[in-house]
Amino acid sequence: MSSQASIDFSSMDAPQREPQRLSALYQYHNAPEVAPAHGLEYDDTVYPSSDKYPVIREAPSYDPSNYKGKHSFQTDNRPPRIIFGMKVRTFLVVALVVTLITVGAAVGGAVGGKSMRENVPVFTGLNATSPASTATPTISVFSAPTPTYTPLSTCQNHTSYSSLYALGSLGSVPATARLNYTLYCNLTNPLTQPGAIKIAQAYTYSFSDCVEVCAGYNFWNAGSNCTVAAYQPTGRRPGNCWVGFADAVSVGSLAADPGMDVALLNML
């Protein structure tokens, strides 16, 4: 035992060495598990929600102030309903605007069409039957009234008349054509006497036109064969003017006949 008592205690008197400090990574992985001081307590903060990333926060299952015998929630933070990429309220506003525009356009078109129909003149020339009828449409033809002219008595007794053919507007006047007449009023028609020859008859509206018929015959035939033109204004169609040849007719040999005008050719 004495030998054991002689143990050197010098090492015990020496100051105790400090243990070597371990690395931070070693300390992190080998440290004991400790519950975090923050994050487990109840948080009653209301967070804003988003269309794309809604924040859903669930209240405690038991709410003493609003207990209804089942689990209750303080607020409804479910994501909003989306229709055609829009919220319900936005979609309803857009639909209302589109509806108002459509109704306005329809009303404006109806009013404009009615106004146009009232301003367009209605043509009644085409009388078409109803669609149910099989008759073909009929087109009414407008007939203008035919103007009527009354032959005039413009006789000036015992006056000279030179035909318009004598002016040469239709060509040179033949030297043998006789175109000058003397007018007489209210005498019998010389062409009704025996030996008289009627060349033509016409319906004219004046005494001078009747004389031109006789003068035209002499002009185109370069002669003097038409010596008498008799005109009766009250005569009916087809003729109230007669022209022809009557030899050796004198005014003294003609009896009075009211309404009959006579033109005799001047042979000189």
Report how far residue 214's alpha carbon sits from residue 182's, in angstroms, rounded to the nearest whole number: 13
Beta-carbon contacts of 211 under 8 Å, excluding residues fewer than 6 positions away, are: 161, 163, 181, 183, 229, 231, 263
Model confidence at 16, pLDDT cuts 50, 70, 90, reads low
Average pLDDT of span 87-113: 87
Report how far residue 211's alpha carbon sits from residue 183's, in angstroms, rounded to the nearest whole number: 9
pLDDT for 39 equals 55
pLDDT for 267 equals 82
Could you tell me the CA-to-CA distances from 149 to 50, 204, 209 in Å, in that order? 99, 10, 14
pLDDT in tens, 184-235: 999 999 999 888 999 999 999 999 999 999 999 999 999 989 999 999 999 9
Residue 107 has pLDDT above 60, yes or no: yes
pLDDT for 210 equals 95
Nearest CA among 212, 208, 262, 202 for reference residue 235 = 202
pLDDT in tens, 118-169: 765 554 444 445 555 566 666 666 666 666 677 877 889 999 999 999 998 8
Report how far residue 264's alpha carbon sits from residue 191's, in angstroms, rounded to the nearest whole number: 11
List 162's β-bridge partners, or say none.
180
pLDDT for 137 equals 64
Residue 9 has pLDDT above 50, yes or no: no
Average pLDDT of span 40-49: 59
Class of domain 159-265 (CATH, top level) = alpha beta
One-letter amino acid identity for 85? G
Which ranges in 38-154 belong to alpha helices (H)?
Answer: 88-119
Domain boundaries, the chain: 43-97, 159-265
